[in-house]
Amino acid sequence: MSFSRREQQLQRYLDGELSPEDAAAFAASMLQDAELRERVELGERLREGFAAAVAAEPRSEAPAGFTAGVLSEVRRLPSREQLQQADLTAGAVQLCRRILLAAIVLLGVGVAVHAGLFDLGQQKTVEAAPDEIEAEMQRLDQQILERMNGK
């Protein structure tokens, strides 16, 4: 998060980090800017409230073993390198799965073509004797005539 120059100067004023000249210039700008004056007053009230809360309640210690427990859990977490390696591995596994799927599809298409399930533009011809074709044509013509006369 970045703060504007004015916000940084306000914070430094509240912290007492401004030089005497800068503090005087800031105080003069507060006289002219009501919003700035309100922000300074709010900041001062917040500081007083925090100081009163700290003074009113003594600090409590963390339970025994708390820090060791937290550090133990942190040490179990994977390192950045391990996470990056896991990402690379996951990408490689996904690529291998896709390649394997493509190979299976190609193999299936090849088997289907070899079995004759697909016509790859090869023109198949039916060879029959001209007499058989002529006899079949006459039979079909005869059936057509019978149906036309019967109706």
> Does residue 67 lie in a domain region?
no
> Does residue 65 lie in a domain region?
no
pLDDT for 122: 63
> Does residue 37 lie in a domain region?
yes
Distant-in-sequence contacts of 79-83, Cβ < 8 A, 24+ apart: none
> Does residue 105 lie in a domain region?
yes
Domain total for the chain?
2
CA end-to-end span of the chain, whole Å? 94
Residue 138 and residue 92 share a domain: yes
Burial of 26 (0-12, 13-18, 19+ CB in 10 A): middle
pLDDT for 102: 94
Residue 93 and residue 142 share a domain: yes
Last residue of a domain, one of 31, 60, 89: 60
CB 12 within 8 A of CB 18: yes
Which residue's entry shows tokens 């914070």?
A: 11
Residue 142 and residue 90 share a domain: yes
Residue 49 and residue 102 share a domain: no
Residue range(s) defining the domain that contains residue 34? 5-60
Query: For each successive 10 residues of the chain (151 residues), what is the average pLDDT?
Result: 76 89 90 91 89 76 85 85 85 92 92 79 67 88 87 58
Residue 103 and residue 144 share a domain: yes
> Does residue 145 lie in a domain region?
yes
pLDDT for 88: 86
> Does residue 139 lie in a domain region?
yes
pLDDT for 51: 83
